[in-house]
């Protein structure tokens, strides 16, 4: 397919060099439009085929998605592609007069769009399954962010890794290494989530939020036995100091 794309590009360039644009302006424009459209659709099919092949090779994607449902559309595109390729090879100088060839290109475009939509939906489904395995509600992230010491970094690290994950999964994969990078990102996010799985009572949450949002600390009256016990049980007591107000 890459070779075919190169042939189309070479043909488009030859049109501009060899034909007299003043005499054959209309014919050249028609031929160029066909060449540009063909190049666009074959290039698109090339990328979609790469993404489809990558997903078909990934065990998790195969297990999660119904990729077999995409095969009829893919096979239909392949059949059209072979017809178009044969015509291009044998009769490309007469393409501007071939209405049937233009119809074939329109069919490829429709099938390409349908195949792209199906692939994109599958990709979104896969992305959501990954998300389910490590997603932490925003409220939980805020609670963790209020904890003192290294634990507060978990929330920041999680959000940074999530941003990387969203960047990697923004578009369909066109390289095997993308799925490897995504899986590494998912593993990291799952590890961070497991660390953040801490039960924090409502009273403790309110105390930590009050402490986090204050520039002057909190009154000792806020430090109830329940809060004091939780801080001690979870080894956070040494993260706080008592200072007399001047």
Q: What is the pLDDT of residues 39-61, one digit of tens each?
A: 888 888 888 888 988 998 888 88
**Is the residue at 244 inside a domain?**
no
Is 5 a residue whose pLDDT tops 60? no
Query: Can you give the residue range of the structural domain that contains 163?
Result: 135-195
36-to-25, 29, 77, 82, 140 alpha-carbon distances in Å: 16, 10, 18, 18, 52
159 and 175 in a common domain: yes
Q: How many CB atoms lie under 10 A from the CB of residue 114?
A: 14
Provide the domain count of the chain. 3
| 147-160: pLDDT as tens digits | 665 566 787 888 89
> What is the model's pTM?
0.70
Mean pLDDT value across residues 213-221: 67
**Is the residue at 129 inside a domain?**
no
**Is the residue at 130 inside a domain?**
no
**Is the residue at 98 inside a domain?**
yes
Q: How many CB atoms lie under 10 A from the CB of residue 190?
A: 12
Do the beta carbons of residue 190 and residue 161 sit within 8 Å? no
| 81-93: pLDDT as tens digits | 887 777 777 766 6
**Is the residue at 246 inside a domain?**
no
| 109-147: pLDDT as tens digits | 888 899 999 999 999 999 999 999 988 888 777 777 666
């Amino acid at each position: 397919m890459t070779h075919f794309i190169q042939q189309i590009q070479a043909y488009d360039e030859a049109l501009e060099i060899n034909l007299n644009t003043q005499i054959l302006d209309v014919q050249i424009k028609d031929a160029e439009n066909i060449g540009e459209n063909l190049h666009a659709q074959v290039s698109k099919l090339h990328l979609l085929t790469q993404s489809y092949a990558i997903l078909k090779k990934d065990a998790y994607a195969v297990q999660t998605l119904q990729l077999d449902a995409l095969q009829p559309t893919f096979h239909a595109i392949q059949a059209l592609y072979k017809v178009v390729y044969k015509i291009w090879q044998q009769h490309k100088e007469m393409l501007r007069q071939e209405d049937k060839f233009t119809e074939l290109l329109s069919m490829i475009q429709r099938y390409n769009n349908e195949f792209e939509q199906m692939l994109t939906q599958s990709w979104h489904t896969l992305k959501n399954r990954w998300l389910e395995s490590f997603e932490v509600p925003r409220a939980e992230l805020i609670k963790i962010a209020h904890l003192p010491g290294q634990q507060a970094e978990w929330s920041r690290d999680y959000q940074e890794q999530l941003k990387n994950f969203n960047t990697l999964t923004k578009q369909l994969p066109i390289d095997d290494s993308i799925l490897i990078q995504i899986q590494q990102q998912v593993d990291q996010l799952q590890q961070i989530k497991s660390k953040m799985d801490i039960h924090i009572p409502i009273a403790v949450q309110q105390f930590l939020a009050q402490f986090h949002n204050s520039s002057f600390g909190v009154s000792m009256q806020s430090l109830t036995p329940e809060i004091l016990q939780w801080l001690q049980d979870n080894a956070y007591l040494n993260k706080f100091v008592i200072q007399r107000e001047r």
